[in-house]
Chain A
Amino acid sequence: MNNSAWRTLAETMTTATMNPSLMSTADWRDFLALTKPRVMTLVVFTGLCGMLAAPGHIHPVLGFTAILCIALGAGAAAALNQWIEADSDGLMKRTANRPLPAGRMERQSALHFGVGLSFFSVILMGLALNWFAAAILAVSILFYVFVYTLWLKPRTAQNIVIGGAAGAFPPVIGWAAVTGDVSALPIALFCLIFFWTPPHFWALALYVRPDYAAAGIPMLPVVAGERETRRQIWGYTAIMAVAAFAPVLLGLTGPLYGTVAVVATLIFAVLAFRVFSSLELDTRNMKAERALFRYSILYLFILFGAVVADRWMFA
């Protein structure tokens, strides 16, 4: 490189350093927020349970790496989701303070971060564990970004029914990281999360409906109304209950999981029935909906914890 080229490079770098418009002004906490850490805890937990329930042994270092890859993959998908939805996030009270709509981060930084993290998580999973688990991880990221965020979410009220599959992959990935394949139990766990997603998400959608309406997102309460949403929450709770009992009915788990599943699902059903029978229209007074949403998260933690405990005790 000659002297003038060096000078040009130095000038460019100096300009970038001195001109705030040419460099990222985001704090590292904004990058962390982009990964939706709170959502990630459930993803990590279900992935960990899938791994712990799988037959066979995995070295703790590799187990840690597998969970790290699942977490990073989920974080990458969340970052790309926020990059795509920056405009609509700005219209909703619940999401207006995210790094992009709040103007704390440039859009390009979020895109680079999301794409980079996606490749990093998949390649690390492939090299450290196996390429089958890496392929499922890649499919889950692509499904969340392209099928759910870009295709379904802005178009149909059934967006989270099909899109829920994206969140159902972690236990399958955790299992595949240990065994290198997929069998009946991880598929049953996939189905459990898949059918759990509609009542979980629609309970939230009922009391943040004005937000979704303002952003023009066709969530079920916005498109079909509250009565229909309550009816569908109740209907999907029944299907979810079948999915929750499937592992024990198919002989994939033992009596411990069966007992926990019956009790936990009964409580879920009671809360879902309260939502179904509620006539509340004021989103500020929707206590039953908030209770169902909160319990639904605990429910998944309880059931997946029971799967692991059961497999360790009876398998």
Chain B
Amino acid sequence: MDQAQIQARQRARAKVMGVLLGAFAILVFAISIVKMTGKG
């Protein structure tokens, strides 16, 4: 596997990780709202 391939995979992993972290932040926000409004 050459350097370019490895870096392409790293970039793809970083993008997926970014999306997942964003989704997690939204989930934590939503859970917090539900808990604070007493609906949970």
Residues of B within 8 A of A24 (CB): 13
| Residue among B3, B6, B39 making CB contact with A59, cutoff 8 Å | B39
Residues of B within 8 A of A11 (CB): none
Residues of B within 8 A of A18 (CB): 3
CA distance A20 to B12 in the complex (A): 16
CA distance A31 to B9 in the complex (A): 12
Given A61-B30, A62-B34, A65-B31, also A23-B6 (CB < 8 A):
yes
Contact yes or no, B16 A59, CB < 8 A: no
Closest to A62 in B: B40
CA distance A181 to B40 in the complex (A): 16
CA distance A128 to B24 in the complex (A): 13
CA distance A128 to B32 in the complex (A): 9
A314 at the interface (CB under 8 A from B): no
CA distance A234 to B10 in the complex (A): 50
A25 at the interface (CB under 8 A from B): yes
Contact yes or no, B9 A27, CB < 8 A: yes
B20 to chain A, nearest CB (A): 10
Q: How many residues of B contact A (CB 8 A)?
A: 15
B27 at the interface (CB under 8 A from A): yes
Closest to A31 in B: B13
| Residue among B9, B31, B34 making CB contact with A25, cutoff 8 Å | B9
Contact yes or no, A65 B1, CB < 8 A: no
Contact yes or no, B39 A25, CB < 8 A: no
* Interface 0/1 of A4-29, CB less than 8 Å to B: 00000000000000101001111110
Closest to B7 in A: A17
| Residue among A28, A65, A68, A128 making CB contact with B13, cutoff 8 Å | A28
Q: Which of A47-65 contact B (CB under 8 A)?
A: 59, 61-62, 65
Q: Which of B2-27 contact A (CB under 8 A)?
A: 3, 6, 9-10, 12-13, 16, 27
Contact yes or no, A25 B40, CB < 8 A: no
Closest to B17 in A: A28
Closest to A25 in B: B6
The contact sample of 27 A-B pairs, CB cut-off 8 A, is: A18-B3, A20-B1, A20-B3, A20-B6, A23-B10, A25-B1, A25-B6, A26-B9, A26-B13, A27-B12, A27-B13, A28-B9, A28-B12, A28-B13, A28-B16, A59-B34, A59-B39, A61-B27, A61-B31, A61-B34, A61-B40, A62-B31, A62-B40, A65-B27, A65-B31, A128-B31, A128-B40
Give me the 5 closest cross-chain CB pairs, A-B, nearest first: A28-B16, A61-B30, A28-B13, A61-B34, A59-B34
Instruction: Write the residues of chain A forming the contact surface with B, with a CB cutoff of 8 angstroms.
Output: 18, 20, 23-28, 31, 59, 61-62, 65, 68, 128
- 19 more contacts with CB within 8 A, not counting A28-B13, A61-B31, are A20-B1, A20-B3, A23-B6, A25-B1, A26-B13, A27-B9, A27-B12, A27-B13, A28-B12, A31-B13, A59-B34, A61-B27, A61-B30, A61-B40, A62-B40, A65-B27, A68-B27, A128-B31, A128-B40
